[in-house]
Amino acid sequence: MVKIVTYNVNGLRPRVAQHGSLRRLLDSLDADIICFQETKLSRQDLSGDVIMAEGYEAFISCNHTSRGRGAYSGVATFCRVTSAFSSQEVALPVAAEEGFAGLQGSAKDSETIGDFVLKMPVEEEGLGEITREELLRLDNEGRCIITDHGHFVLFNLYGPAIGEDDEERVRFKLLFYKILQKRWEYLLALGKRVFIVGDLNIAPGSIDRCDAPPGFEKQMFREWLRSMLKENDGPFFDAFRSKHPERTGAYTCFNQKVGAEEYNYGSRIDHILISGSCFHNCNSEDTHSIFHCHVKDCEIMNHFKRSGDTENISKWKGGRSSKLEGSDHIPVYIILNGIPELPVHSTPSSAARYLPEIRGRQQSIVSFLSKGKICEVEDGPGLSMSQDQANESCCTDDLERKSISKEESPTGITEFSKGGDLPSSTSKRRNLDHWINEGPSGNSQNSNATLLASHGMKASFSSIKSMSNKKNKHNLSSQPTIKSFFRRPETRTGDANINSLVSSVDTVPVMDELCYPMDVSLLENIQCTAAAEVDQDSSISCSLTADNCNTATLEWQRIHQRMKMTLPLCKGHREPCIPRSVKKGSNIGRQFYVCGRAQGPSSNPEANCNHFQWASVKSKGKRQ
């Protein structure tokens, strides 16, 4: 029995952090072959903790473009094996290839699957002449990994998401699938069985979309995908829909900006398509095929959904800073039985274990002396995201944008950042160092302790830093020894309490100054914790009393209440709206208000009432 899972992880590092390790993430899916999309890894960011896991072999493709978009796209296929060498397991491929046009470096060696070489230039109906540069650009975004498992060839795909008015990306997506179709037809003509899994960013029919408008199925890419399916005389079975032809509400992707999971308001754009003959040596594919004879089950793994009715699952609470743990996609699996073993083979040379970023490369002594890069929190709260990344991250199926009219509706009014990695302990430490360096100096330990409560501990740390700098000036004349770099810094009795306070605060998450206001309970906890630390020694007076904590709490409540009073009420629920701003187009920077509830069917009175209201004054600021 072979189990294959496809999962758009919306950033592999966040999913690894969510589960604790890559091995735990992979084990939670419990499959022989696991195909990830939207890993958001670049070659420079590759490391063993997100690529290598005991018992798995990885094959990856990262984006190679340099358009200033940062890490986006990317696919990875993980194969569970008992041995990477001399194995007979179907999960371990006999060959692997990055990309699908035969132009990537790993596709030029002897492992090229099916010896597919596309001659350039190519004339394609309705597309004109396709150049080699265009084909290379298709592969450079890291959207395809092909693995040959002997009995079938597996395509792990991440299809482009586009806007209907973006002609360049429409052509890109059209080329992407046209060239892929040629590759599939070539392999099928060779007698290969072809499996296509991944986020194709296409919902085939109205049954696969929560709010399909009239004419939904007439869209170009939907018509193309349906033409590839058996019911329209195409070569592929849509494994899920073929197993569950009448099931409604079966969605795999939800718009994270409007909390769509809460009311199962999504679309089915993650697919498993299969084609080829069975292992019974029968020529009739009508009754004997890989689907009819060997597919035991195909299901959506709904327990990976980010919101639900149970107490242990987070709810979307509205607002720009709302972050739900997990991806905005749900995995889909297929189980095949009766698949024979393969002849003895070993891991292909294109596996991740052989990449120089993972295997290691010789380093110069300069690299050990240079200061390391500060770990960036990818798309975390308070951080901005490029428009290209936002478009790429949107689970749209090309139609998620809802406009009121061309005259009054902004383009992209729902473009917002997605959740990302949590900062590592290294990044927290360096943020704290930055905090210490940039903060205003204090005058005394007691005043520092007071500022610690009222100004987020900023002044206190800067004062401690300045005292440390003065102390170090006296030692500049003496040459330090190697041992001095490994000694603990000497502390005086008077400094002990402050130093212990600094070390204890090390574990407190540091918030960026651009973030939204700190939660009231968090501020209160920090204040009271600091007060308890200072109380342990009589050398620092306790200026943080219960009254101070209560005062700060009441002040935050007053601010929040005042903010609510200035917001308009939505028409459906008479609740305060959420302020948002236009991210692109002629109305960039202009503020508007929308209902704060989760998106859902219009028939549900508890769901978003679709209230929209422009702010009275157009903002002159531009998006950073």
Binding-site residue numbers for Mg(2+) are 8, 38, 199, 201, 328-329
Specify whether the CB–CB gap between 43 and 107 falls below 8 A. no
Residue length, the chain? 624
Binding-site residue ranges: 8, 38, 199, 201, 328-329
| Cα 234–Cα 207–Cα 174 angle in degrees, nearest 5 | 50
In the chain, the amino acid numbered 92 is L
* Active-site choice (72, 158, 177, 263): 158
Closest alpha carbon to 540 in 501, 491, 506: 501
Catalytic site includes residue 158: yes
b (16+ CB within 10 A) / e for 187-226: bbeeebbbbbbbbbbbbbbbbbbbbbeeebbebebbebbb
* Dihedral sign from CA coordinates of 193, 171, 222, 33: positive
CA distance 235 to 245: 18
The catalytic position among 45, 139, 199, 379 is 199
Q: Tokens 């990875």: give the residue.
A: 76
CB atoms closer than 10 angstroms to residue 503 = 9
Of 143, 151, 152, the residue nearest 198 (C-alpha): 143
Characterise 156 by phi-psi region: left (phi > 0), alpha (psi -120 to 50), beta (else).
Answer: beta
Q: Token pair for residue 107?
A: 């596709």
Query: Please, are residues 37 and 9 in contact by the beta-carbon 8 Å criterion?
Result: yes
Question: What is the C-alpha to C-alpha distance for residues 187 and 374, in angstroms, rounded to an integer?
Answer: 46
What 3-state DSSP class applies to 527?
helix
List all residues 6 or more positions away from 119 whose beta carbon is below 8 Å from its beta carbon. Answer: none
H/E element, 333: strand 332-336
Q: How many CA atoms lie within 13 A of 91 on its CB side?
A: 25
Question: Residue written as tokens 């084609």?
Answer: 275
**Got the DSSP string for 213-262?**
PTTGGGSHHHHHHHHTBGGGT-SBEEHHHHHSTT--S--SEE-GGGTGGG
User: b/e for 68-92, b at 16 or more Cβ within 10 A?
Assistant: ebbbbbbbbbbbbbeeeeebebbbb
Angle between helices 520-535 and 546-566 (to 10 degrees): 170
DSSP-based three-state secondary structure for 48: helix
Among residues 329, 421, 495, 611, the one annotated as catalytic is: 329
Candidates 87, 149, 158; CA nearest to 113 is: 149
Q: What angle do CA 184, 292, 268 make, to 5 degrees?
A: 65
Residue whose C-alpha is closest to residue 330's, from 378, 248, 266: 266
Q: Which residue has the tokens 């790993």?
A: 106
Beta strands 33-37 and 2-8 are parallel
Q: Is-contact 389 420, C-beta < 8 A?
A: no
- The C-alpha angle with vertex 226 and arms to 221 and 227, in degrees rounded to 5, equals 95
**Catalytic residue flag (residue 329):** yes
**249 and 263 Cβ atoms separated by less than 8 Å:** no
Residues acting as catalytic residues: 158, 199, 329
